[in-house]
Amino acid sequence: MPHLTKPILSLKQFILKQEVKTLYRHIFRAIRKVPDPAHRKELTEWARRDFRANANYTDEVTVRMYLRYGERCLRELETSLNLAK
Amino acid sequence: MSGIVKNIRALTRHSCYFRAYSVRPLAVTLQKSHTVQQEPVHQQNLLSYTQTRFYSPEIKKTKPSEEEIKERVLKVCASYDKVTADKRLITPHERSYSAKPPLTLKLISERVLLVLQLYDKINPDKLNLKSHFINDLGLDSLDHVEVIMAMEDEFGFEIPDADAERLLTPADIVRYVGDREDVYE
């Protein structure tokens, strides 16, 4: 039985965490479609850095604010990808 | 803006004027236009007679002479290579389909471990099939997402979120990929 290294989250926190993870996944899937590999690398570094820098907040409002910022970035990325096609 | 339009209009009008007086007959002018060449007319009348089209010089190509045409046809015929033409026309007897390499569980586990070793946040000494990503290898949930995406890239199919949640050791991933790809041993 694996020992617990992390605290058990409440339902709200768990759902929030899931949302963050799905956003992260969507961003990476969008980055995959970028044609230029150097640009792709730069975008992945930027995404990882941003997510980890803001990873420590537990306050729901702050997390939701950053989630919205991330969703906006994702939408910009997707529109520029559609334009570049 | 209107000044530019006026200038362009004036230019086109003048060029039309010029064309009607040029020596080379234009194919698109109407029959009546030859009467225009005799005497200078008012610009409005000119426009009504000549329905010339205003092409820029690059678009309007000169017609090749018969000599030129003959030369070009002979050149194309001379360069016809029967051997390569025959090769192209005959349908190839072997068909090439794309296929994935044959997978065995051993091969899958090798590939999974290779991908994990290439991931910079994993310590390769601690890495084996049973090591838990979060508990043993010290990754956090975002790293876990990245690892699963790397597996998607490696094996070429998408792993939905619900399944990705449950894949917490390399052995899980190997079994999952084996189930997806119908690899039994």
Angle at B10 between CA B4 and CA B11, to 5 degrees: 90
Bigger pLDDT: B168 vs B57: B168
Nearest C-alpha in A relative to B141: A21
Q: What confidence score (pLDDT) does residue B121 get? A: 86
Q: Distance from B92 to chain A by nearest Cα, in Å?
A: 34
| Overall average pLDDT of the B145-171 stretch | 91
Domain ranges (residues) in chain A: 59-85
Which residues of chain A are at the B interface, by a Cβ-Cβ cutoff of 8 Å?
Answer: 2-3, 5-6, 17-18, 20-22, 24-25, 28-29, 32, 48, 51-52, 55
Q: Read off the pLDDT band of A56 (50, 70, 90).
A: confident
- ipTM over 0.95? The verdict is no
Taking only the tens place, the pLDDT of each residue in B83-97 is 777 777 666 666 667
Write down the mean pLDDT value for chain B.
76
pLDDT over 50 (residue B182) = yes
Contacts A–B by Cβ distance under 8 A? 30
| Overall average pLDDT of the B46-68 stretch | 66
Bigger pLDDT: B54 vs A18: A18
* Active site residue ranges of B: 140
Nearest C-alpha in B relative to A14: B141
Q: What confidence score (pLDDT) does residue B51 get? A: 61
Please tell me which of the candidates B132, B134, B145 has its beta carbon nearest to residue A21: B145
* 8 A C-beta contact, residue B170 and residue B116: yes
Check B134 against A6: CB less than 8 A apart.
yes
